[in-house]
Amino acid sequence: MRKALGLFAFLAFVLFLFAAAISLRPFGEPPHAEMDSYFIEHAQEEASANNVVTSVVFDYRGFDTLGEATVLFTAVSGVLMALRHYGGKEK
């Protein structure tokens, strides 16, 4: 009984995956591309950078990068605070 149920669930999941793969959009045509087009067309003029990825990461979404940097800062200060006493001079 359990095996039959598992097989049924597996087959249903495989069918679902096939249906999803068939109804996938063609490669390279995302549904909402307005923002991408805006970044690609205006990044050189607004952010004055050839690398559009960097202009997104550091300019258009700079606040997100600030958060990432804060995560790293917190991790480093946590490790140093916890282990500072062990790493010092030998007694």
Partner 1 sequence: MTTTIIKTTTRLLAPLILVFGSYIILHGHLTPGGGFQGGAVFASGLILLIVANVRDKVQELFEKTPLTQLESLGALGFLGIGLLGLMSYTFLKNAIANSGFLFGGTTPQGINPGYLNTGGTLSYLNIFVGTKVLAGLTSIILIFFLILRRERDEW
Nearest approach, Cβ of residue 81 and partner 1 (Å): 10
Nearest approach, Cβ of residue 37 and partner 1 (Å): 15
| 34-to-28, 42, 52, 59, 61 alpha-carbon distances in Å | 14, 12, 15, 18, 16
Report the alpha-carbon angle 39-42-43, nearest 5: 70
Show the binding pattern over residues 40-79: x = contacts partner 1 (CB under 8 A), - = does not.
----xxxxxxxx-xxx-xxx--xx-xx-xxx-xx-xx--x
**CB nearer to partner 1: pick between 11 and 70:** 70
